[in-house]
Amino acid sequence: MPFEVSDLSADVDAAAGEYADKEYLWTLNFGPQHPATHTTLRLILTLDGEKVVKAVPDIGYLHSGFEKLAEDLDYNQYVTIVDRMNYLSPLANEIAWHHAVEKLLGIEITPRCKYVRTIIAELMRLHDHLLNTGTSALDLGAFTAFLYFFQQRELIYDISECASGQRFHSSYTRVGGVLFDVTNEWVEKVRSFCRGFRAVHTEVDGLLTRNRIFIDRTKGVGVLSKEDAINFSCTGPVARASGVVRDLRKDEPYLAYPDLDFKVICTTGGDCYARYLVRMHEMLESIKLIEQAVENIPSGPINVDPEGKAVLPNKSNVYQSIEGLIHHFEVIMPNRGFATPTESIYAATESPNGELGFYITADSSSKPYRARCRPPSYIHFAVFPHIIPGHMLSDVVAVLGSLNIIAAELDR
């Protein structure tokens, strides 16, 4: 790829100005295939010895036109694509997408569905934070913590499989509800996961939180001040670690969050260690939320009454009655589908990574006219070239890990 190091942004250039005429600087291509990026992204680093003077991200390797695809798929079909954006917490994306679609259509989901989606959203938060803290420790040389946490992720995969039949990209939510109602077996699995989780969390907490080497590698590294976090549009754990007290679950309550008791975890350090601490504590809050929600799942239907013609009928009706089958076809066939208002809406949820918003423009057909995703990874990665200069090369992996950059969401 033709790329000139002179094509740098003015801001980053100014920071590197004092090095402009130094011939001993050398360039390192970090990625696109590098074990510490975990995904496919490239950094062009200018180094003074081991010190990073300038970093230029080059992204787009995984760009697959998800937003263009949205214009060709209907509101239910697109869920299979949003799944693949942030693949560390696929169901959180589905919930965000259908949250936006339901807001567009004015559908109020049933209380049971709210609770089920809340439990799933919190499981996905654990899913993401487990991998993120695990791998950022792994990048810094702490292998054991990663294994403990990955084993817990397996259990979440099992829960996901039990609900939807798919372990990973489950495409579980639908407009106005979910694919299948949850079973007692699922509830039991969630309970047993909650029982076992705290012990593992304590164990990893003991391995990392007061570990001299881990603290040396993360404390004071990649500091992001509160003003910068707001100015750079950071949200989620990255902003909360810098002291921005903002969590959409509290500030703009959705799903069952208003009924449940939890804390918003904030700290003021703004460095990699602070982000690690925020994520570790958020996991405990998530477990608390799941424990409350799973004992209080309301009875009643999981899907909105399909008479409104926007919601898919129950699968057993589809397979066993002609009316159900016709109804199903009416919803999914091209040129049928359901009517949408000629309107636009922005709706956001608190995904594990930050504010995951969708700006949907509908043109009264059954497909979105435009579906913009506000991807938190993309916005957080824009911060990276501003906070890395002056750090050592080995800190690059620590900062990358703590910002939780997921290239599929970054590039879409």
Task: Note the residues at the interface with other proteins (CB under 8 A).
Answer: 1-3, 7-11, 59-60, 63, 65, 67-69, 71-72, 103, 106, 228, 230-235, 244, 246, 251-252, 342-346, 348, 355, 357, 359, 361, 363-364, 369-370, 372, 374, 378-379, 381-382, 386, 411-412
In angstroms, give the least distance from the CB of 7 to other proteins.
7
Cα 192 from Cα 402, distance rounded (Å): 29
C-beta closer to other proteins: residue 91 or 348: 348
8 Å CB contact between 5 and 44: yes
In angstroms, give the least distance from the CB of 354 to other proteins.
10
In angstroms, give the least distance from the CB of 56 to other proteins.
10
Cα 334 from Cα 38, distance rounded (Å): 39
C-beta closer to other proteins: residue 213 or 245: 245
| Angle, CA 239 vertex, CA 238 and CA 245 arms, to 5° | 135
Cα 158 from Cα 50, distance rounded (Å): 43
In angstroms, give the least distance from the CB of 206 to other proteins.
35
C-beta closer to other proteins: residue 189 or 367: 367
ω into 298 cis (within 30 of 0): no
For 98, 150, 298, the CA distances from 108, given in Å and listed in that order, are: 11, 36, 15
C-beta closer to other proteins: residue 138 or 348: 348
C-beta closer to other proteins: residue 328 or 367: 367
The token duo for 208 is 């990392």
In angstroms, give the least distance from the CB of 51 to other proteins.
23
In angstroms, give the least distance from the CB of 231 to other proteins.
5
Cα 111 from Cα 256, distance rounded (Å): 8
The token duo for 134 is 């695990």
C-beta closer to other proteins: residue 4 or 295: 4
> Whole-angstrom distance between the N-terminal and C-terminal Cα of the chain?
20
8 Å CB contact between 146 and 327: no
